[in-house]
Every structure is written in C-alpha cells, then in structure tokens.
Structure 1
Amino acid sequence: MAQDPAQKVQKGAASPGKEPRTARGRETLRRLLDAAAAEFGERGFHEASISGITRRAGTALGSFYTYFDSKDAIFSALVRHMSQSVATAAAAGVTPGSTGVVREREALAAFLAFAREHKELYRIIDEAEFADPAAWRAHYEGTATRIAARFDESVAAGSVAPGDSEVRAWAVMGMNVFLGLRFGIWGDDRSVDDVAAEAEKLLRDGVGRRP
C-alpha cells in the first residue's frame, strides 16, 4: 500500500541544524509533526502547547527540543510539511501522461480526498496567515506556481488554448480551495469524482451560453 503523503517527513521539516540523521529520528519527527497537526487543528495556534504535542506524540519533552526550537518553529515546519503533502497528494492522483483539463480534474479529486482525510489542513493554513505570514504566502504562491506550470505544459501539448497561465492558476486554485472547504471539510455528501467532474466541465466548457 502506498504511504500517505502526509505521513512522509519532508526535508527541512525540523528547525535548521536539527534534521534527524537516523530512521528512528525521522520516525520521531514524523510523530511530532502528526501530533502537532492534531494539536493545532483542534486547539488552534494560541491554545496549542508543546506539552500537548509531546503528549499526543508519546515522546519526552526533550525529544521536542531535539528537532524544534519552539512552538512557533514546529508550527512553521508543519505549514511547510502540509503544503508539500498537498502537492504530493495531488501529483500522486494524476495519471501519467494526462494533460489539460483531465489532469486538473485528477489533481482536484486527489486534493478533495486528501482534505477529507486531513480536516485539520484548513484551520492550520488559515491560522498561518497571522502566525506565520511568510509560510502562508509561500503555500499559496507555491501551489499557484505548480498549477501554472501544468497549464504551460498543457498549452505546449495542445490540450489547452493559449492564455495567461498565472491568472488561470490563481483562479483554479481559488476554485479548488473552496471546493475543498465545501466538499472536503464541511461535508462529504457528494463523491469527490462527481465534484471534480463538474469542475472539469466548468474548465472545459465555461458557464456562458453559446449562440
């Protein structure tokens, strides 16, 4: 079975100079990040605590400081980790060789599935706007850059009409964010495939009436 992207520890997840060098260390770091996701997701940044994180992780307080300098540091690391996990999940959901609006549908479906499995995602990213504005902005700019690159590739392949890839990327990202909120966080009354198919239709045909 493929490993959940959110369970992988990305390079740079720990504070600078505190990266784990052993498999056991990487496992401890992963447990701390998972525990931080639960702690921040349930309690929010201000109410969350280092002791709450270590208690959830089942680790000693000293283990926390082996990898992180502070609560702020693990929150910033968590935002980066979750941002990369979203990117990894979306990429994993894309069929090799797919392009154009089909690829956008596949990436959206994978994101919706990820959001349903990791409902803490939205609260953590939203709080990052105030707790770590640089990481918050980097998350959205990085996401838009990846989508724009997909559009550039699709235009080159002839599967999408030429246009402004940056504007398209931010528009698609905005659509995906709110579809994830409605059909990933607030409810699962529609299948991810149905929602993604409707989004694909919107990208393919638009909403204006044709003569």
Structure 2
Amino acid sequence: MGASVADELQTSAASAGKAPRTARGERTLRKILDAARDEFGDRGFADSSIVGITQRAGVALGTFYTYFDSKEALFQALVRDMSAQVRDHVAPVLKESADMIDGEARALESFLCFAREHRDVYRIIDEAEFVDPRAYREHYETTANRIAGRLAGGRKSGEVDGGYSDEELEILAWALMGANVFLGLRFAVWSSTDPKRVADAMNRLLRSGLAT
C-alpha cells in the first residue's frame, strides 16, 4: 500500500526540517491539515488566512510556524495529504477484489464514497494547478502510475489483453483516471448517486474493452 498518511505528512513537513517528533506533534499537525482543508475548501486559497486556519484548528498562531513556513507550504502539504488519503481509502478494497478489473471497479466505488464525504477535494486539487503546479502534477502522475501498475499486473496475469504495450497501458491509465475524476464530480459532488451503480457500469465497460 505504500507509506501511510502519517508518513506522508511527516515527509512533507520534514522537507522544511519541521517534522513532528512526538505523537502529540503528529496530532497537532493533523489538526492543522484538517483545518486547512476546511478553510481552503470553504474560502479558496486566495481568501484563506493562516489566522483562520489556526482558529479552526484551535491552535496558537505560533504553533502553525512550528510545522509550516507559509500558507503556500501548508497548501502543498495538504494536496499531498489528500492524495495519500484517497490512496489509502482505496487500498483495502483492491486487496479484496476478485481480479484486476473488479479491483478497478471497487476502487472507483471507494473513491466516489470518499469524494461524497470530502467534496472540497475537487476545489483544492483544482486550485493547486495555479497555487502549486508541481504538487498538482505530482498528484495526477502518482495516481496514474498506480493505475498503470495495476494494469501491467493484469496484463501479466492474463486478465488484460497482452497486446497492449507499456505506453498504451500508460495511456489507458490516464484515461481511466480522467473518467474516475469526472464520474466523481458528476455522481458524488454534484449529486449522490449510488456509488455501486456507477462502479458496476464502469466494470462492464472495462471488461468489454480490456479483457482478453
């Protein structure tokens, strides 16, 4: 499954030499990130403030600078955190899947549930394109790479047509990710359609297009 969300947070903070050293510090960092998600999600990056974030988190202003140098640094860490949360939310259902294609449908269903509970993820990730283009690109590249890896595993096991090249699997991975993003927007953020119905429809499409 890779690093945990806690590990991701520590890595982000450690890049500035400010990784939490205690369990209490990890909890405080978590509170700041959760408050930032609410603040940026409600107000957008430009209209959000460090004071507003610390007030939501219930921590002193000085505590903020124990972990982050700026609002921009916090936003970058938040984008990575939300990406890690999506990954960790999906990982358990992948382990329970009957096969690779079933796993992709389960992953979509899990993502739709996450997006419905965390609608602000769309606003935050979209803003990252302009606030922190590197984090924005990293989010999508790492997500697509995980999907491509699963497709490669399916090709190796014979579930995916062996005629697909590595380049073609990368293309398919980006196509699947794009479909998932817009399915989440339409059926989780804009409305609350049963995630399983959406995932089942996608499962039929994948089996007709990918299976050998």
TM-score normalised according to structure 2 size: 0.90
Cα displacement (A) at 1:8 = 8.2
Cα displacement (A) at 1:51 = 0.3
Q: Which runs of 4+ in 1 moved over 6 A?
A: 5-9
Cα displacement (A) at 1:98 = 3.5
Equivalent residue number for residue 120 of structure 2: 120
Matches for 1:7-156 after TM superposition, within 5 Å: 10-14=9-13, 16-96=16-96, 98-156=98-156
Q: Aligned partners of 1:62 and 1:202: how far apart in 2?
A: 52
Q: Aligned partners of 1:68 and 1:10: how far apart in 2?
A: 11
Q: Aligned partners of 2:11 and 2:67: how far apart in 1?
A: 11
DSSP-derived class of the 1:44 partner: helix
Letter in 2 for 1:43: R
Q: Is the 8 A contact 1:9 1:26 kept in 2?
A: no
Q: Aligned partners of 1:124 and 1:8: how far apart in 2?
A: 21
1:94-113 CA distance string (max 9 Å, x none): 23463321010011111111
DSSP-derived class of the 2:11 partner: coil
Equivalent residue number for residue 178 of structure 1: 182
Cα displacement (A) at 1:68 = 0.4
CA gap of 1:8–1:113, structure 2 versus 1, over 3 A, is farther
Letter in 2 for 1:191: D
Q: Aligned partners of 1:13 and 1:122: how far apart in 2?
A: 21
Q: Aligned partners of 2:38 and 2:147: how far apart in 1?
A: 28
Instruction: Identify which of 197, 201, 206 aligns with 1:203.
Output: 206
1:152-174 CA distance string (max 9 Å, x none): 00111111112121011001001
Percent identity over the alignment is 53
Cα displacement (A) at 1:88 = 1.1
Q: Is the 8 A contact 1:89 1:110 kept in 2?
A: yes
Q: Is the 8 A contact 2:8 2:84 kept in 1?
A: no
Q: Aligned partners of 1:159 and 1:11: how far apart in 2?
A: 37
Tell me the number of residue pairs that the alignment of Structure 1 and Structure 2 aligns: 201
1:46-95 CA distance string (max 9 Å, x none): 00000000000000001100000000000000001111111111112223
Q: Aligned partners of 1:112 and 1:8: how far apart in 2?
A: 24
Q: Aligned partners of 2:29 and 2:58: how far apart in 1?
A: 12
Cα RMSD for the two superposed structures: 1.6
Equivalent residue number for residue 209 of structure 1: none
- Unaligned regions of 5+ residues in structure 1, if any? 207-211
Letter in 2 for 1:11: Q
Q: Aligned partners of 1:46 and 1:7: how far apart in 2?
A: 27
- Unaligned regions of 5+ residues in structure 2, if any? none
Q: Aligned partners of 2:156 and 2:112: how far apart in 1?
A: 27
Q: Aligned partners of 2:51 and 2:8: how far apart in 1?
A: 21
